[in-house]
Structure 1
Amino acid sequence: MTPPILNPVCELRVDLDPIMSLGEGRAGLRRIIPIVGGTVQGPRLQGRILDLGADWQTIWTNGTAELDTRYAMQTDDGAIIDIRNYGYRHGPADVMAALARGEDVAPSSYYMRTQARLETGDPRYAWVNSTLFVGTGQRQSAQVILSLFAID
């Protein structure tokens, strides 16, 4: 079998509102981070992140953030694409504490990986409905930067 190839699709720059904490739940600290806009730039997708959606996070007792997002983009030519992104962010305690304080840290100093599903009814982008995607990310104080790759 041939190993899969990762092909760049786009970079998502997702703008965030402040974190809303729900407190401790059954699985850990529950948080909602509203997604309020952003940009999409890349070889296969270009557009803007719409002002809707959120990351419904759980912070486990070991410090791992379970990322569970749902939001949408509008391409430059008018297509609406639903994005569902699930992943993990974790790293050394001092790095994670710096992120929690809103400090920018090198993305190589922690792990932030996702798997994404995209969906649209626009025939120009029907290929996203049957493609698997993975991402590597970086958390900044008010933004997440995510490089999205198609698994070909």
Structure 2
Amino acid sequence: MRRLVIKKILLVEDEVHKLEELTACLEDFYKGQVALTHVDSVHEAFWAVSTDVYDLIILDMALPTFSPEGSAALERGHDQALGGVEVLRALKQQNLRSKVVIITQYPDITIGGKRVKLSEASGVLSRRYDQDVVGSVLYKYKSPSNSTKLTALLKKAA
């Protein structure tokens, strides 16, 4: 009998429509054999990676500082265009290494003060933060390419 291995995945995403689309793709790919933890802010992501180990982290790059749950917009702190980079920095500081898939709506990311094309960001982020950044998805609202690209990266991460 073949033993099923449930993957532990941390999904760091603050936008509901993206969260729903990404969750559906993950559930479909892993055929329900996934333990999915969702957080929606830099602060919650710091807490999650410092208290648990994940097989894969799906990481949005632009995140609010704090969770919006039960908070007025002003109490969330400011949105951080590089919030995902802060999460990668936290992983490195804690000597944790993980497989990571980047999700962003931007064609480039600022890393160390320099703009890096999304196609090159995986390698730069992997080296700079000592992580296994498998790849990135340039998210487009309700586009089938989101699922296609994420599925390809999930296969690569397996």
Report the TM range for the smaller structure's normalisation: under 0.3
TM-score, normalised on structure 1? Answer: 0.26
Task: Determine which structure has greater relative contact order: mean sequence separation of CA pairs < 8 Å that are 6+ residues apart, divided by chain length.
Answer: 1
Which structure has greater helix proportion? 2
Higher radius of gyration, 1 or 2: 1
Name the structure where strand makes up a greater proportion of residues.
1
Q: TM-score, normalised by structure 2?
A: 0.26
